[in-house]
């Protein structure tokens, strides 16, 4: 069923998983101990029903089909695995190192998307420090 969707809809589904996962992980500060798959799925479902463009383009019969749900579960797992396995860039690592040095703090990060989050968090902390 998933394979029968248009390439554009498949890309949109992948993008919705990526965006919802990043938003969820940012909300829980990328804490593995706070991660709850059922909560993420619930938030993703809310995202696709209210913000994703592809949701209204897929027939209700397809969306209600258990095989489609199984295939979506596989796609969710693949997408999350891809996000978590993408190494931070050298530029990200250098920027994090510089910010951590300036703030005298240290953050752990393991993937490109988490590094992006850490950079934003450190920049916000630096901004607060400079305004005091």
Range of the domain at 111: 90-131
Task: Using the predicted structure, report yes or no on whether residue 132 has a pLDDT greater than 80.
Answer: no
| C-alpha distance from residue 96 to each of 22, 31, 62, 103 (Å) | 19, 18, 44, 10
List the structure tokens of 37.
Answer: 């798959």
Q: Is there a single domain that holds both residue 44 and residue 80?
A: yes
Task: Yes or no: say if 4 and 39 are a contact pair by the CB < 8 Å rule.
Answer: no
The domain total for the chain is 2
Q: What is the pLDDT of residue 18?
A: 97
Using one digit for the tens of pLDDT, what is the confidence trace for 98-130?
Answer: 999 999 999 999 999 999 999 999 999 999 988
Same domain as 102, residue 72: no
Residue 27: both structure tokens together = 């909300």
* Chain segment 16-70, per-residue pLDDT in tens: 999 999 999 999 999 999 999 999 999 999 999 999 999 999 999 999 999 999 9
Is residue 71 domain-shared with residue 114, that is, in the same domain?
Answer: no
* Structure-block tokens of residue 24: 């969820």
Record the pTM. 0.91
Final residue of a domain: which of 48, 67, 85? 85
Query: What is the mean predicted confidence (pLDDT) over 3-27?
Result: 96
């Amino acid at each position: 069923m998933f394979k029968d969707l248009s390439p554009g809809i498949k890309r949109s589904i992948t993008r919705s998983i990526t965006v919802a996962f990043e938003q969820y992980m940012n909300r829980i500060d990328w804490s593995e101990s706070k991660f709850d798959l059922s909560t993420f799925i619930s938030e993703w479902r809310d995202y696709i029903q209210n913000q994703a463009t592809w949701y209204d383009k897929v027939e209700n019969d397809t969306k209600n089909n258990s095989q489609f749900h199984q295939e979506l579960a596989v796609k969710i797992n693949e997408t999350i695995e891809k996000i978590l396995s993408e190494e931070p860039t050298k530029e990200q690592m250098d920027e994090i190192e510089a910010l951590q040095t300036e703030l005298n703090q240290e953050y752990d990060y393991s993937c490109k998307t988490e590094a992006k989050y850490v950079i934003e968090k450190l920049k916000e902390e630096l901004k607060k420090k400079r305004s005091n």
